[in-house]
Amino acid sequence: MKVTRELFDQVMAPNYNPANMIPVRGKGSRIWDQNEVEYVDFAGGIAVNSLGHCHPEMVAALNEQSQKLWHLSNVFTNEPALRLAKKLTDVTFAEHVYFANSGAEANEAALKLARRWALDHYGEQKNQIISFKQGFHGRTFFTVTVGGQPAYSDGFGPKPGAIDHATYNDLASLQALMSDNTCAVMMEPLQGEGGIISPTPEFVQGVRELCNKHNALLIFDEVQSGVGRTGQLYAYMGLGVTPDILSTAKALGGGFPIGAMLTTKAIAASLKVGTHGSTYGGNPLACAVAERVLDIVNTDEVLNGVKRKEQMFRDGLNAINDKYHVFNEIRGKGLLLGAALNEKYQGRARDFLVASVEEQLMCLVAGANVVRFAPSLIIPDEDIKEGLARFERAVARVVNG
């Protein structure tokens, strides 16, 4: 069968609009399409491919596990899931782990747990969930409603109730919504889809204090910011604040679908037998790969490398901007960075993405006004330099029309 981009339009639901080229193989931070055209990957599958494409240790872990056990229901447990859970609890605040298949599912579990915990300890009136405008927490109906972008949740009928949205980095906005009926505040410790917005230390500390005051749980959505992305294993570790529940996915599997919710023993106690579940959660293949990813990422070499590579990106993007004057700032932390367009180029982030593909570079957008970069955490320096050279040519394309 001849596979073309036109086949997508014939057989796939029209909720995506992929590029015309079709990638067929990758190695490290390079991708090749059907015509053997080579691209530098600054997108990382939206912060997923933490070790690039086909990392040999990930391939080995998958091959090894594929010869042993592929799937069990959660009537049974399995060794890879238990090893991964132990490693996650050893290196974070958490004492218990729930496995899922994606970030949305990890967030769904976090939100359901928060509501059940509040019911168990305070009663059914304590059900309010507060999150932040421009936040993003997944595409299930519960998580997309909690996310602070109505365009993603409008048009699907009545939304789940008792959900309110405050303004990110505005503590007074949150304070005005909170009461003793608040069961949880959910936030990204670095907003991704909302434009690569970092929180101020005062804001994060203030959110924690308000949660303490009102006996509400603080949920950190680290689906995009976690597993080394910011130069810390998890972003909360660099903020001086510990959440009560944390969700992780994306980079955890390095490209193999997996999600996890992490929390304390006392809070996890509300997730009693039968209250929640997942057919594929804790899948042996996924957990075997994720265990190897965690072992590699959680090293000084990789985490310090992320911080050094961040500076390379910042220096390169600022040099491009000195020439073409298209950005008003470079945002973000580690290797989750955003080039925010200035007034002259408002609404044109996708133009820069399309031009980048034409220059054989893969990047992302975060809304209409931010070009986003989320490459492999171990992207070689030479690939950063080559990718930035291609991005400069893409910028020149847009600027020169």
Task: Kindly give, in sequence order, each residue whose CB lies less than 8 Å from that of residue 255, ignoring residues fewer than 6 positions away.
Answer: 45, 48, 49, 53, 58
380 and 276 in one domain?
Answer: no
Determine how β-strand 182-187 pairs with β-strand 217-221: parallel
Q: How far is it, in rounded angstroms, from Cα 6 to Cα 39?
A: 21
Task: Kindly give, in sequence order, each residue whose CB lies less than 8 Å from that of residue 278, ignoring residues fewer than 6 positions away.
Answer: 74, 99, 100, 101, 105
User: Which of 334, 135, 115, 93 has the alpha carbon at shortest distance from 221?
Assistant: 135
Q: Which pLDDT score is estimated for 401?
A: 83
Enclosing domain of residue 269:
57-295
246 and 207 in one domain?
Answer: yes
Known binder of ligand: residue 301?
A: no
286 and 156 in one domain?
Answer: yes
224 and 337 in one domain?
Answer: no
275 and 349 in one domain?
Answer: no
* Residue ending a domain, choose from 239, 265, 295: 295
Known binder of ligand: residue 167?
A: no
Known binder of ligand: residue 278?
A: yes
Q: Collapse the DSSP code of 267 into the 3-class scheme (helix H, G, I; strand E, B; otherwise coil) and give the result.
A: helix
Q: What is the residue-level pLDDT of the chain in tens, covering all 401 positions?
A: 899 999 999 999 999 999 999 999 999 999 999 999 999 999 999 999 999 999 999 999 999 999 999 999 999 999 999 999 999 999 999 999 999 999 999 999 999 999 999 999 999 999 999 999 999 999 999 999 999 899 899 999 999 999 999 999 999 999 999 999 999 999 999 999 889 999 999 999 999 999 999 999 999 999 999 999 999 999 999 999 999 999 999 999 999 999 999 999 999 999 999 999 999 999 999 999 999 999 999 999 999 999 999 999 999 999 999 999 999 999 999 999 999 999 999 999 999 999 999 999 999 999 999 999 999 999 999 999 999 999 999 999 999 98
371 and 304 in one domain?
Answer: yes
Known binder of ligand: residue 104?
A: yes
379 and 275 in one domain?
Answer: no
Residue 62, amino acid: L
Active site residue 156: no
Torsion region of 305: left, alpha or beta (phi above 0 gives left; psi -120 to 50 gives alpha) = alpha
The active-site residue out of 203, 220, 221, 327 is 221
Q: How far is CA 94 from CA 161, 243, 246, in A?
A: 29, 9, 8
Known binder of ligand: residue 348?
A: no
User: What is the domain-level CATH number for residue 375?
Assistant: 3.90.1150.10
pTM confidence score: 0.96
The active-site residue out of 42, 99, 136, 256 is 136
User: What is the domain-level CATH number for residue 129?
Assistant: 3.40.640.10
Known binder of ligand: residue 103?
A: yes
199 and 74 in one domain?
Answer: yes
Known binder of ligand: residue 244?
A: no
Q: Which pLDDT score is estimated for 193?
A: 87
Positive or negative torsion for Cα 353, 354, 356, 362: positive
The active-site residue out of 126, 250, 309, 333 is 250
Active site residue 221: yes
Match 């609404």 to its residue by tokens: 347
Match 């959900």 to its residue by tokens: 163
Number of domains composing the chain: 2
Known binder of ligand: residue 140?
A: no
> What are phi and psi for residue 317, nearest 5 degrees?
-65, -40
309 and 195 in one domain?
Answer: no
149 and 43 in one domain?
Answer: no
User: Which of 337, 340, 328 has the alpha carbon at shortest distance from 310?
Assistant: 337
* Residue ending a domain, choose from 249, 274, 295: 295
Partner residues linked to 248 by β-bridges: 260
360 and 335 in one domain?
Answer: yes
* Residue ending a domain, choose from 276, 295, 314: 295
Q: Is residue 166 a contact partner of residue 132, using CB atoms and an 8 Å limit?
A: yes
211 and 101 in one domain?
Answer: yes
Active site residue 154: no
